[in-house]
Amino acid sequence: MLSRHRQLFASAVFLTDGLLIAGSWLASYWLRFYGLGLAVPLGIPPFSLYLWFGAVLTPVALLVLRTFRLYRSARTAPLSQEIYTLIQGVAVITALAGLASYFARGEISRLALAIFAVLAAAALCGSRIALRAVLRAVRRRGRNLRRVLIAGTGESARRLVATMRRHPDYGFALAGLVAADPAEVGDELDGVPVLGTVADLRRLVETTGADIVYLAFARADFAAEEEALARLDDSTAAVRLVPDLSHAFMLNASVEDFDGTPVVLVTESPGQGWNAVAKRSLDLAFSALALLLLWPLMLAVALWVRLDSRGPVLYAQERVGLNGRRFRMHKFRTMRADAEATGAGWTRPGDPRRTRAGVVLRRLSLDELPQFWNVLRGHMSLVGPRPERPNYVEQFRGAIPRYMLRHHMKSGITGWAQVNGLRGDTPLDRRIEYDLFYIRNWSLVFDLKILAMTLLRVFRDAAAH
């Protein structure tokens, strides 16, 4: 019965999307040629042309949206992900429509296509937002629920119970738990009763009316997991496997399909695919603009450094960046030419190795300006964990847990740790904590926030010396 209801619901959403797409297409014709009062130098095309084009476009658009898997059950999928997928789908649909118009000798107005893209994206996204709101309200009232059994009594099972209680809008009703150990039957886990063992799974699915069974066993209970899978191989309930990663540090964890084999990505950089394109575009635009606008200042600083003390204007130092690759990072020289004759070391407050110009340049972070060239070349990013020297990296990776995870992101001129006052000779464990927080929560908006905070801190950073 529930499966039939889900099919009817998916069909209703599918048909509604078709109506919204068709309506957006017809509305784009009216707005382009009548509603917005825009000039029509080539005359108004016949409505029949757009009507026939829309009759072809609508089913093609639905097929495109279906390939994005938008009509599957998505109770636990975030709304932002669905909205993003819809916008991607509309972009593909519009591109296909533009291609068809090109082969039809440009008979479809490009402005009409642009209007359609905006209207379709707004209509489809708006309908999903409204639908989510209605379903959330219905589920909070105890309707449209799916009964769930959780097989397992360890930390993974505990997290599942907490998540389902924290999100009643997901519409899950916990029927109970299934244990690997018979001694646990009759106990409770956070108020949820343990109804039986793995041997009772088939019976428990039938007696509780469970729609979904989550297998959330500890890794030590792999035998119980295998038995559970065997007992549920002909069950009417949907089976979902939750791997036990309680002892693994996860960084942007996800699951990918490796030619039919599910693979759990435990640690993964967020700078992949479109994210990488977006971040690199921001880097290129800002670094090119900075070099274009700041070259007079950089020239003045270079002359000051050259006249202030003997030695080269620029100081190049090997650093470790993305994926452990080494590169040469450039800065204006702020130390005496023989500053590291006795070995490398952190700069200290009142460090006697600094030049007179270096004191001011470090205080205002002007010594970092040449790193815009590193960003332009792709060695660094505007925002990211600060790169360290290879000898420090080898030292820190053996002493600080998860230190190398910061190299899953391209190194930056500034970073979340730096704008929070953690730069230079400051506690490394705290800097790593801030770097990993940045990698987990990366977004372009977060990068822009850090850049803004960097500009505000330039003249009042007590940690710069």
Task: Delimit the domains of the chain by residue range.
Answer: 2-140, 146-247, 273-340+348-457
Task: Decide if pLDDT at 465 tops 60.
Answer: no
Burial readout 310-338 (b: 16 or more C-beta within 10 A, e: otherwise): ebeeebeeebbbbeeeebebbbbbbbbee
Q: Could you tell me which CATH number the domain at 146-247 has?
A: 3.40.50.720
Does an H or E element contain 265, and which?
strand 261-265
Mean per-residue pLDDT for 430-457?
87
- At 331 the three-state DSSP class reads strand
Question: What CA–CA distance (Å, rounded) separates 235 from 218?
Answer: 22
Instruction: Give Cβ neighbours of residue 456 (< 8 Å, ≥ 6 apart).
Output: none
Mean per-residue pLDDT for 74-78?
75
Predicted local distance difference test score (pLDDT) of residue 247:
61
- At 171 the three-state DSSP class reads coil
Does an H or E element contain 284, and which?
helix 273-308
Check: CB of residue 217 under 8 Å from CB of residue 180: yes
Mean per-residue pLDDT for 346-368?
78
Predicted local distance difference test score (pLDDT) of residue 2:
47
Mean per-residue pLDDT for 157-170?
88
Question: What CA–CA distance (Å, rounded) separates 97 from 109?
Answer: 11
Predicted local distance difference test score (pLDDT) of residue 107:
76
Task: Decide if pLDDT at 9 tops 50.
Answer: yes
Task: Decide if pLDDT at 56 tops 90.
Answer: yes
Predicted local distance difference test score (pLDDT) of residue 265:
67
Q: Of the given ranges (47-56, 65-74, 113-122, 337-346), which has the lowest mean pLDDT?
A: 337-346
What mean pLDDT value characterizes the chain? 85
Quick one: what percent of the chain has pLDDT higher than 70?
86
Predicted local distance difference test score (pLDDT) of residue 342:
60
pLDDT digits (tens, 9 = 90+) for 271-296: 666 778 888 999 999 999 999 999 99
- Provide the whole-model pTM: 0.58
Task: Decide if pLDDT at 461 tops 80.
Answer: no
CA-based nearest residue to 410, from 435, 385, 434: 385
Question: What CA–CA distance (Å, rounded) separates 206 from 354?
Answer: 77
Predicted local distance difference test score (pLDDT) of residue 439:
87
Mean per-residue pLDDT for 163-187?
89
Task: Decide if pLDDT at 1 tops 50.
Answer: no
What confidence tier does 460 reach under pLDDT thresholds 50, 70, 90? low
